[in-house]
Amino acid sequence: MAETNTQDKNELLKYLDPKVLNKITRLDLRARHVVEGFISGLHRSPFHGFSVEFASHREYVPGDDIKHIDWKVQAKTDRFYIKQYEEETNLKATFLLDASESMHYKSAGSDTLSKYAYAATAVASLAFLLQQQQDAVGLGIFDEELINYIAASGSSSQLKAMIHAMDIAEPKKKTSLEQIAHALAEKISRRGLICLVSDLFTDIDGVVRALEHFRHYDHEVVVLHIMDQTELDFPFQGVTQFMGLEEMGRLTIEPRALRDAYLKEVNDFCHEVKRKCVASRIDYKLISTADHLDAALCAFLAARAAAVRKTSAKR
């Protein structure tokens, strides 16, 4: 029994860095609105009742409680309208984690994590934080197909199940998200948070179409774009053999001759992904595996909070 408990603890700690958790948890305690900014619409549901926050009007029908009549509107229109409100409910957050072969990449001789390990750590950290707020978390792991799906739950064992699923996944195939996401969008019917964590080495138009399906059902959608630092700055010197991932071959080249063209392609790719996400009201954050995860998450949370406060001020 003691050996089993030790194994469970080691599995949890693999993707739960105490330093990261300490930083983002302290952030939450000091500034709750920052975390609320990340979720944007935290604890709201589209189901109407008479509690919490005003949502809209509907015309009065016999049998409605007259205490919910908006008398100011009646004075202006000479018609009776009922105030509708949004009920408060716990958030359901589902993380979509890319486990394709390209996510296995990490800089040679570097102390940084592979893209997959870094992404899994980000998922575990955010899921831990959300659970501390009594919210439900879930996980979908995919490559060319949906490898594992754990429906969102507030169970005390949920985080352990998610971490175990991430730990046993083996990045070894291509990325194909569109059909998977369309199916999940139909499965996850209640409004919540969808967070895609991927290097996005796939058809971006297909990814955006898939994420727009979640937006159609009024989910809040976030993309954490994970890249290795060498993919972003291409620091290679001298003749180098590159081994392709996701069924690509090998290529021996002089990298300095291609560096400028490569960097232009990568920058154009990242800018295009961000542009398409913003156009579809999807939050986007590019993160390098060389970034300290706590700093990267805190910066993103703070930016989300600022955006939400700005939007609220305009209303």
Stretch 150-174: mean pLDDT? 87
Residue type, 234: F
Instruction: Tell me, yes or no, whether 79 and 213 share the same domain.
Output: no
Q: Are residues 246 and 134 in the same domain?
A: yes
Q: Are 96 and 140 in contact (CB under 8 A)?
A: yes
Expressed as residue numbers, the domain containing 80 is 46-88
57 shares a domain with 106: no
Give the mean model confidence (pLDDT) for residues 294-307.
74
The residues facing 241 across adjacent strands are 252
Same domain, yes or no, for 97 and 80?
no
Percent of the chain residues topping a pLDDT of 70? 66
- Tell me how far apart the alpha carbons of residues 9 and 15 are, in angstroms, rounded to a whole number: 11
| Structure confidence at residue 9 (pLDDT) | 55
Residue type, 139: L
Question: Number of structural domains, the chain?
Answer: 2
> Does the pLDDT at position 175 exceed 80?
no
For the segment 214-233, what is each residue's pLDDT rounded down to a tens digit?
A: 998 889 899 999 999 988 98
**CATH number of the domain where residue 222 is located:** 3.40.50.410
Summarize pLDDT for 101-126 with one digit per residue, the tens: 889 888 776 677 889 989 988 898 88
Best-predicted range by mean pLDDT (124-128, 176-180, 283-287): 283-287
- Based on the domain organization, do 22 and 83 belong to the same domain? no
Whether pLDDT at 139 is above 90: yes
Rounded Cα distance between 278 and 254, Å, is 36
Residues 6+ apart with CB under 8 A from 187: none
Task: Please indicate, yes or no, whether residues 81 and 224 belong to a single structural domain of this protein.
Answer: no
| 35-60 pLDDT, tens digit each | 444 444 333 433 333 334 555 666 77
The CB density around residue 259, as the number of other CB atoms within 10 Å, is 15
14 vs 126, which has greater pLDDT?
A: 126
Considering the domain architecture, whether residues 9 and 77 belong to the same structural domain is answered as: no
- The reply to whether 66 and 186 lie within a common domain is no
Q: What is the pTM of this model?
A: 0.71
Confirm if 9 and 114 have CB atoms less than 8 A apart.
no
Q: Is the dihedral of CA 43, 44, 45, 47 positive or negative?
A: positive
153 and 74 within one domain: no
Q: What is the distance between the alpha carbons of residues 196 and 102, in angstroms, rounded to a whole number? A: 16
Q: Report whether pLDDT(200) > 90.
A: yes
Query: Same domain, yes or no, for 71 and 191?
Result: no
114 and 231 co-located in one domain: yes
Convert the pLDDT of each residue in 69-100 to its tens digit.
888 878 888 888 776 554 444 688 999 999 99
In this predicted structure, what is the pLDDT of residue 51? 37
More confident residue, 209 or 294: 209
Backbone angles phi, psi at 250, to 5 degrees: -110, 150
| Single-letter amino acid, residue 103 | M
The predicted model gives 15-35 an average pLDDT of 51
If asked whether residues 63 and 186 sit together in one domain, one would say no
Contact by Cβ (8 Å): 204, 272:
yes
Say what the pLDDT of residue 233 is.
84
